[in-house]
Amino acid sequence: MQNDIFATHLSQADTNTLLRSVYNWMMVGLMVSGLTAFMVSHSPTLLHILFGNPYMIWVLLLIELGLVFAISAGINKMDVSTARVLFILFSFIDGLTLGSIFIIFTETSIATAFFIAALTFGVMSLYGYFTDTDLGSWGNILFAALIGLIIAMVVNFFLKSPAFEWWISVIGVIIFVGLTAYDTQKIKQMGEEMGAGDRTSLSRVAIVGALSLYLDFINLFILFLDFFGNRRD
């Protein structure tokens, strides 16, 4: 009886395979975004199209938000190939919005912020994977804090307060550090609860997981760039 129960769930090796797939797709997304941002920063035409019109960046952000909801809410109804295409499309559009960082910040400070974000992300993701503590209770708290952070960012868009912006960055780092550990553990638990033969669902979880961790990492990177980034003269 015990063997039958365990046979319906992923083995530890399969769970590790799921996590590797999540990280691989996350890296693909980061590479697409990074290359796109670099391409935009070296194209005066694209810079003018994207940032010359104050409404264009909002259009792109709304498209990104729509893609996040489409992938997250519709993942169980779409083909795996469709989910992958949407994730790559999201990464590309996010790269378009990130193109300005190469104009605003020095390449050295961008590399520094990326390294710090990668180190922080790696430590917290490992914690989320290996800890025996159930981080499920973090979910509602972190989600509420994230909503509050977004509201604060919108308010400061009009206030333009440097002190308020600093506190937003500090709180933002704390939130996404927590989300990195929480999301990693959640992905691991989803894999452990999944049927061993359900490879389609496994691939879907890999895309949703990659999207979650991608967002955690990118937000950490941007927040650390605000902290440590040196602006160009």
Per-residue pLDDT tens over the stretch 51-87: 988 889 889 999 999 999 999 999 888 999 999 999 9
The pLDDT, as a whole number, for residue 219 is 96
Enumerate the H helices of the chain as residue ranges: 2-7, 12-41, 44-51, 56-74, 80-98, 101-104, 107-130, 138-159, 162-192, 199-228
pTM of the entire predicted model: 0.90
The three-state secondary structure class of 231 is: strand
Measured CA to CA, the distance from residue 101 to residue 184 in angstroms comes to 28
Question: Per-residue pLDDT for 115 more than 90?
Answer: yes
Please enumerate, as own/partner, the contacts of 49-53 that have beta carbons within 8 Å and a separation of 24 or more.
50/96, 50/97, 50/99, 50/100, 51/99, 51/100
What is the residue-averaged pLDDT of the chain?
88
**Residue extents of the structural domains in the chain:** 2-228
Cα dihedral across residues 231, 56, 70, 22: positive or negative: negative
pLDDT band at 157 (very low <50, low <70, confident <90, very high): confident
Residue with tokens 């909801």: 69
Mean pLDDT (whole number) for 145-150? 93
Per-residue pLDDT tens over the stretch 6-33: 334 556 667 788 899 999 999 999 999 9
The pLDDT, as a whole number, for residue 197 is 54
Structure tokens at 232: 């160009």
